[in-house]
Structure 1
């Protein structure tokens, strides 16, 4: 029998911890073995129980997540640390990854991303919230060179590209659903996921992106 991933929750919001605990304990591969409401508590618990995975909030009283991160890496050296935060500032993301975090998930997307992110980091992968990947790509580009937006486009699935191209051309979700023989809900899922990966928030921004990168032709 495969052993469960032992998880430590570190967040100062009791209601959020309760919700995550309920979610994780309903999954066959996860087991919440400890909870901490502050960075200091997280350090003490991590050293005591040696979890496999730590879900760490950045904003906690006393010792915050960013300050606790490098110490946690020493107190529980075998644990993967996944940041779960409300902060979508790229500076927080960069600092967290440089300090040893294995992933970065925004709380606003936790209901759909958290389990996937946890499974990814337990496979020794790095997980970053899709809308924040652009800032990491920009860090890899030598100073003076321009960022190629097409790299983001190429990171979309074929279906996401197809749906977004039709959206940019002015088609509604219902029209696209009929054209591709899919449900409207499925189309809206592809649309939302693709827009998030591109870091775009509305159709106007998508049209500008598509025109700028010659994905559609101006009429």
Structure 2
């Protein structure tokens, strides 16, 4: 049996940390290796403990979760980061996704939802509904942001651009395969190349890029 995945909790509310620890430590495949109450401490504890996943609060004193996420995700052997937030439509949560987080979890989520989300992110999936990403983008992407990324679209082929467009519209790999008359494995290959060419971390960041580059228009 493989060793349990290592989780580091970061929240300035002790009760939140206690609740998350109880849920996570009840599972044989997961273990909480440490806690932090602010961004600076989570950076130090992450370097010390080398967790697989950090559950990251955003609004904390001192170094907030947004800055901590940016620094964690930019470092070598970065852990995955799952944002824990009070509201799904949160400017700070959106900023954390852009900084490298792989999704977010609302603080009042039920225990089973927490476990499903944590395991999915550990597998490399992104736990965020496309509809939520779209609402975040519509609220927080500025109209002029497209100029920043438009030139990078030239790095992808026409087929890859089609795939990226459909990803941004919320289609699964299977649905994209059906729409473009491709094999699902081929779609996965295209998506992998898109992420590599555009230096994107995962599907969430591909969706954000598609909107910010103007490939997909807000409200379209």
1:15 aligns with 2:15: yes
CA distance in 1, matches of 2:57, 2:90: 16
SS in 2 for 1:120: helix
Cα RMSD after superposing both structures: 2.5
Partner of 2:36: 36
Over 3 Å counting, the alpha-carbon distance change for 1:129 and 1:21 in structure 2 is farther
Offset at residue 21 of structure 1 (A): 0.7
Over 3 Å counting, the alpha-carbon distance change for 1:130 and 1:27 in structure 2 is farther
1:87 aligns with 2:87: yes
Residue-by-residue CA offset, 1:67-93 (whole Å, 9 max, x unaligned): 111111245633110001113225333
Over 3 Å counting, the alpha-carbon distance change for 1:108 and 1:13 in structure 2 is same
Over 3 Å counting, the alpha-carbon distance change for 1:17 and 1:36 in structure 2 is same
Over 3 Å counting, the alpha-carbon distance change for 1:111 and 1:45 in structure 2 is same
Task: Specify the structure having the higher radius of gyration (Cα).
Answer: 1
Partner of 2:52: 52
The 8 Å contact of residues 46 and 76 in structure 1, kept in 2 or not, is answered as no
CA distance in 2, matches of 1:49, 1:76: 14
Partner of 1:120: 120
Say which structure, 1 or 2, has more relative contact order (CA 8 Å, 6+ apart): 2
1:27 aligns with 2:27: yes
Q: TM-score, normalised by structure 2?
A: 0.58
Residue-by-residue CA offset, 1:5-32 (whole Å, 9 max, x unaligned): 0010000111111111111111111110
CA distance in 1, matches of 2:31, 2:108: 23
User: Aligned pairs, how many?
Assistant: 144
CA distance in 1, matches of 2:42, 2:75: 10
Residue-by-residue CA offset, 1:142-171 (whole Å, 9 max, x unaligned): x9xxxxxxx78x99xxxxxxxxxxxxxxxx
Unaligned ranges ≥5, structure 2 = 147-168, 173-220
Offset at residue 120 of structure 1 (A): 0.8
CA distance in 2, matches of 1:137, 1:61: 26
The 8 Å contact of residues 58 and 65 in structure 1, kept in 2 or not, is answered as yes
Offset at residue 94 of structure 1 (A): 2.7
Over 3 Å counting, the alpha-carbon distance change for 1:91 and 1:137 in structure 2 is closer
Partner of 2:163: none
CA distance in 2, matches of 1:41, 1:26: 25
